[in-house]
């Protein structure tokens, strides 16, 4: 290629590469500290952990994330994305940590670095009264669950299920269950209990057997060690100094930390 043309092209591709790298690099603890703002990613459709009430982002994990920022002397900026995008966005540096009820799983541990869990919960089978409420009863049935969740491999390992259908969020699965498009729904117990109460379905739709027990945790990008350690230290402080207990009591009337 003609040198006169080649140079501008080289410069252009170098610039493009730089901007891609800048977006792709998660921020270090030092960079977060000097910016004064901690960016946290969440979904905002998983009540009462992270959800919108009108335009206000709320929930146990929102209060906890705000408290984590406060312990580190940082403002918190929330970034909301579909659940299925969150771990990819985390590793692309779109936010510094994710707080969206992820279960710690060996597969995810290869992709991100988890903090110690901020709560433990069961994933339950949910069905209309008279519907399938045990693993055995799921034989021949269609089950709805959220895309990208740890429930999917668990459901796939239960023999006899006719179909595991994925939905963008739990609200759409509840609607599918009510309309009879799926026979059962699986999600974390506290979320189901909250959503059934909110929609007046308690007693009409029932919470059945657990399919798994999870340790639910926040995470940082893989290898972001200094930030991981700073946030883990901050979480340990909140668990110890009564802040965690207060936030948990506000949302659940009890302390939901892992026993």
Span from 10-18, 109-117, 145-153, 200-208 in contact with ligand ARG (CB under 6 A) = 145-153
The verdict on 146 binding ligand ARG (CB under 6 A) reads yes
CB of 20 to ligand ARG, least distance (A): 28
Q: From the CB of 126, what's the least distance to ligand ARG, in Å? A: 14
User: Is 150 a residue that touches ligand ARG (CB under 6 A)?
Assistant: yes
81 binds ligand ARG (CB under 6 A): no
Instruction: Show the site string, 152-171: x = touches ligand ARG by CB under 6 A, - = not.
Output: --------------------
* 252/259 Cα distance (integer angstroms): 16
List phi, psi (to 5°) of 190.
-60, -30
Based on the shown chain and the rule CB under 6 A, indicate whether residue 38 belongs to the binding site for ligand ARG.
no
Is 216 or 232 the residue whose CB approaches ligand ARG more closely? Answer: 216
Least Å distance between CB 150 and ligand ARG?
A: 4
Name the segment binding ligand ARG (CB under 6 A); options: 20-28, 52-60, 89-97, 101-109.
101-109
83 binds ligand ARG (CB under 6 A): yes
Q: Is 43 in the site for ligand ARG (CB under 6 A)?
A: yes
| Of the residues 101, 124, 224, 232, which one makes contact with ligand ARG according to CB under 6 A | 101
Tell the smallest beta-carbon distance from residue 66 to ligand ARG (Å).
17
Q: How far apart are CA 159 and CA 173, in angstroms?
A: 22
Among 29, 38, 41, 46, binds ligand ARG (CB under 6 A): 46
Going 26 to 29 to 31 to 33, the CA torsion angle's sign is positive
100 near ligand ARG, judged by CB under 6 A: yes
Q: Is 188 in the site for ligand ARG (CB under 6 A)?
A: yes
Nearest to 182 by CA among 128, 130, 136: 128
Considering only CA atoms, give the Rg of the chain. Answer: 21
Calpha distance 32→29 (Å, rounded): 5
Token digits of residue 209: 């057997």
Q: Which residue ranges make up the site for ligand ARG (CB under 6 A)?
A: 43, 46, 50, 83, 100-103, 146, 149-150, 188, 214, 216
């Amino acid at each position: 290629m003609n040198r006169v043309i080649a140079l501008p092209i080289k410069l252009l591709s170098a610039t493009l590469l730089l901007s891609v790298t800048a977006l792709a690099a998660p921020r270090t603890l030092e960079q977060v500290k000097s910016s004064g703002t901690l960016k946290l990613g969440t979904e905002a459709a998983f009540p009462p952990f992270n959800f919108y009430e009108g335009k206000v982002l709320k929930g146990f994990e929102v209060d906890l994330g705000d408290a984590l920022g406060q312990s580190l002397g940082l403002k918190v900026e929330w970034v909301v994305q579909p659940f299925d995008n969150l771990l990819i966005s985390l590793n692309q540096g779109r936010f510094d940590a994710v707080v969206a009820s992820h279960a710690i799983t060996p597969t995810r541990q290869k992709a991100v670095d988890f903090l110690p869990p901020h709560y433990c919960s069961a994933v339950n089978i949910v069905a209309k009264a008279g519907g399938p409420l045990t693993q055995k009863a799921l034989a021949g049935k269609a089950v709805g669950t959220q895309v990208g969740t740890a429930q999917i491999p668990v459901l796939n390992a239960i023999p006899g299920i006719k179909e595991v259908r994925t939905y963008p969020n739990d609200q759409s699965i509840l609607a599918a269950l009510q309309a009879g498009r799926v026979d059962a729904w699986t999600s974390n117990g506290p979320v189901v209990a909250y959503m059934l109460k909110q929609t007046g379905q308690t007693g009409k739709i029932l919470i059945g057997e657990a399919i798994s027990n999870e340790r639910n945790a926040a995470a940082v990008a893989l290898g972001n060690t200094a930030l991981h350690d700073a946030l883990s230290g901050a979480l340990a402080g909140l668990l110890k100094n009564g802040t965690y207990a207060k936030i948990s009591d506000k949302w659940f009337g009890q302390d939901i930390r892992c026993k």
